[in-house]
């Protein structure tokens, strides 16, 4: 900020000046400069006007509204706690069931093998049925031939 | 205007980070309340919410510009505090901690909203309470009121055009009166970055206002 009397001040510095964010030395320099420089002073006035026009919207909450809000939040916090307990309970139960089923399983059976055998048996049954159908068709054919003969 | 007497050092599990300044927790009542909260004292949490609700809802309202959304954000802030009570070291005041959570939640919300609006040309409901009505000066003449409303509307539109962080920095500095250093700690940013955000925000607001003044003249 040296040579501020010759140079105009930066807008960033004016902004920090407005919010009281400049340190003591810089603050004093800028104050002195604004007192002597018409251009910067005008800019400073404009900045002030703009910022003072920015509204500060405020919601007035009545005590009853505050109480209602607090009760709602507290209730939700309790619900979260309860659901957390349920979640833990569910996870523990599932783990226990899994552990028990693994312990209770007879030795020698590989999981999944049983299902495969059942599926294979179904295929064999279907093949048998197809063969029977073919035999029946052949029987019909033989009977037709006999009839013709 | 500064609502935060103490600086914050909060839980390490992904929660807002610490500040470097010495801790000055002067509020004895708050300490008692915190102890009650940790001990699971019935009604303590509700009491805390009731005491802090107005301040936090207003902070969120200034940040997002919509009452229903502000209440949701404040509520989520309280719930997060409730969840992280075990990790809360108590090096900062509860109110500082809540202020920090709500600011960050509001920034996330603003980002999501912006994206949603970009994707779906989303507009906010027309029946929302107008923030300018809320901020109106009851003693002003109808003409002044109209002009102030128009100015305010343009400025709020300009605020909507800012990035989430720029808006948050502006609101926290201008409307909440927090020092830039504290804002930097709160948003986990460098102080220089905060200054840059503030400058850009004010530049955008001024541009909007100057357009308005040109329109009037």
pLDDT tens, position by position, A100-143: 888 887 666 555 555 565 666 666 677 777 777 777 777 776 77
In a domain, A2, yes or no: no
End position of a domain, from candidates B108, B129, B150: B129
**B interface toward A at CB cutoff 8 Å?**
45-47, 49-50, 53-54, 57-58, 61-62, 65, 67, 70-71, 74-75, 78-79, 82-83, 131-132, 134-135, 148, 151-152, 155-156, 173-175, 179-180, 195, 198-199, 202-203, 205-206, 209
> Both B191 and B89 in a single domain?
no
Q: What pTM value is reported for the model?
A: 0.67
pLDDT of A2: 47
Q: Do B199 and A15 touch (CB under 8 A)?
A: yes
Which residue from B minimizes the CA distance to A47? B206
End position of a domain, from candidates B129, B148, B183: B129
Complex prediction ipTM: 0.71
pLDDT tens for A30-81 read 999 999 999 999 999 989 988 888 878 889 999 999 999 999 999 998 887 6
Residue environment code for A65-85, b if the CB has 16+ CB neighbours within 10 A, otherwise e: ebeebbeebbeebeeeeeeee
In a domain, A93, yes or no: yes
> CB distance from A80 to chain B under 8 Å?
yes
- Among A10, A57, A77, the strongest candidate for a mutation testing the B interface, having the largest count of B CBs within 10 A, is A57
Domain count, chain A: 3
**How far is residue A92 CA from its own chain's centroid?**
25
Of B144, B67, B63, B79, which Cα lies nearest the Cα of A60? B67
Of B59, B94, B85, which Cα lies nearest the Cα of B73? B59
pLDDT of B16: 44
> Both B123 and B179 in a single domain?
no
B27 by Cβ neighbours in 10 Å (0-12 / 13-18 / 19+) ranks as: middle
> Both B122 and B211 in a single domain?
no
In a domain, A71, yes or no: yes
Q: Do B50 and A69 touch (CB under 8 A)?
A: yes
> Both B45 and B79 in a single domain?
yes
> Both B206 and B181 in a single domain?
yes
In a domain, A43, yes or no: yes
CB–CB of A58/B134 below 8 Å? Answer: yes
pLDDT tier, A3 (very low <50, low <70, confident <90, very high otherwise) = very low
> Both B111 and B21 in a single domain?
yes
Query: Per-block average pLDDT, block size 10, for chain B (217 residues)?
Result: 37 39 53 81 88 94 92 95 82 84 94 80 52 58 73 78 92 93 92 95 85 63
DSSP secondary structure letter of residue B6? S
Look up the CATH number of the domain holding residue B99.
1.10.1740.10
Q: Do A73 and B58 touch (CB under 8 A)?
A: no
> Both B110 and B8 in a single domain?
yes
pLDDT of B209: 75
Alpha carbons B164 and A41: distance in angstroms, whole number: 31
Alpha carbons A131 and A129: distance in angstroms, whole number: 5
Phi, psi of B28 (to 5 degrees): -60, -40
CB–CB of B183/B194 below 8 Å? Answer: yes
Q: Do B49 and A70 touch (CB under 8 A)?
A: yes
Q: What is the CA radius of gyration of chain B?
A: 19
pLDDT of A54: 82
Domain count, chain B: 2
> Both B120 and B136 in a single domain?
no
> Both B106 and B19 in a single domain?
yes
Q: Do B49 and A69 touch (CB under 8 A)?
A: yes
Q: Which tokens go with B119?
A: 């994707």
> Both B111 and B177 in a single domain?
no
For B107, the enclosing helix (H) or strand (E) is: helix B94-120
A98 by Cβ neighbours in 10 Å (0-12 / 13-18 / 19+) ranks as: exposed
Alpha carbons A47 and A41: distance in angstroms, whole number: 10
CB–CB of B60/B73 below 8 Å? Answer: yes
> Both B20 and B5 in a single domain?
yes
With a CB cutoff of 8 Å and minimum separation 6, the contacts of B162 are: B170, B200, B201, B204
In a domain, A58, yes or no: no
> Both A81 and A115 in a single domain?
no
Q: Domain limits at A75?
A: 63-104
End position of a domain, from candidates B129, B157, B187: B129
Of A61, A59, A83, which Cα lies nearest the Cα of B79? A83
Q: Do A56 and B179 touch (CB under 8 A)?
A: no
B110 by Cβ neighbours in 10 Å (0-12 / 13-18 / 19+) ranks as: buried
Of B110, B121, B102, which Cα lies nearest the Cα of B178? B102
- Number of A:B CB contacts under 8 A? 102
Give the closest-approach CA distance of B187 to chain A in angstroms. Answer: 18
> Both B117 and B157 in a single domain?
no
Of B173, B164, B138, which Cα lies nearest the Cα of B64? B164
Q: How many residues does chain B have?
A: 217
Q: Domain limits at B184?
A: 132-217
């Amino acid at each position: 900020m040296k040579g501020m009397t010759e140079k105009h001040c930066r807008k960033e510095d004016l902004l920090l000046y407005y919010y009281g964010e400049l340190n003591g030395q810089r603050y004093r320099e800028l104050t002195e400069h604004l007192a002597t420089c018409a251009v910067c002073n005008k800019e400073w006035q404009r900045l002030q006007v703009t910022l003072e026009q920015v509204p500060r919207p405020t919601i007035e909450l009545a005590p009853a509204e505050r109480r209602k809000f607090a009760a709602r939040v507290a209730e939700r916090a309790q619900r979260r706690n309860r659901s957390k307990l349920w979640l833990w309970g569910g996870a523990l139960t599932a783990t226990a069931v899994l552990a028990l089923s693994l312990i209770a399983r007879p030795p020698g059976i590989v999981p999944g093998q049983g299902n495969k055998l059942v599926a294979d048996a179904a295929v064999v049954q279907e093949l048998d049925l197809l063969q029977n159908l073919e035999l029946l068709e052949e029987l019909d054919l033989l009977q037709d031939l006999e009839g013709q003969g | 205007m500064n609502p935060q007497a103490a600086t914050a050092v909060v839980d390490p599990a992904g929660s807002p980070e610490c500040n470097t300044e010495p801790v000055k927790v002067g509020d004895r009542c708050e300490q008692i309340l915190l102890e009650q909260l940790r001990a699971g004292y019935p009604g303590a949490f509700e009491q805390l919410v009731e005491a802090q609700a107005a301040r936090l809802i207003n902070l969120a309202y200034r940040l997002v510009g919509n009452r229903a959304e502000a209440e949701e954000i404040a509520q989520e802030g309280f719930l997060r505090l409730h969840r992280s009570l075990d990790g809360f070291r108590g090096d900062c005041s509860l109110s500082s901690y809540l202020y920090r959570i709500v600011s960050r939640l509001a920034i996330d919300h603003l980002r999501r909203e912006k994206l949603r609006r970009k994707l779906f040309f989303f507009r906010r409901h027309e029946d929302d309470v107008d923030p300018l009505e809320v901020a109106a000066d009851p003693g002003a003449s109808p003409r002044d009121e109209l002009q102030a409303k128009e100015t305010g509307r343009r400025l709020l539109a300009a605020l909507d055009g800012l990035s989430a962080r720029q808006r948050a920095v502006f609101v926290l500095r201008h409307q909440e009166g927090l020092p830039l250093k504290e804002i930097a700690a709160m948003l986990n940013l460098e102080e220089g970055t905060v200054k840059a955000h503030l400058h850009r925000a004010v530049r955008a607001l001024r541009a909007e206002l100057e357009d308005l003044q040109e329109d009037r003249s």
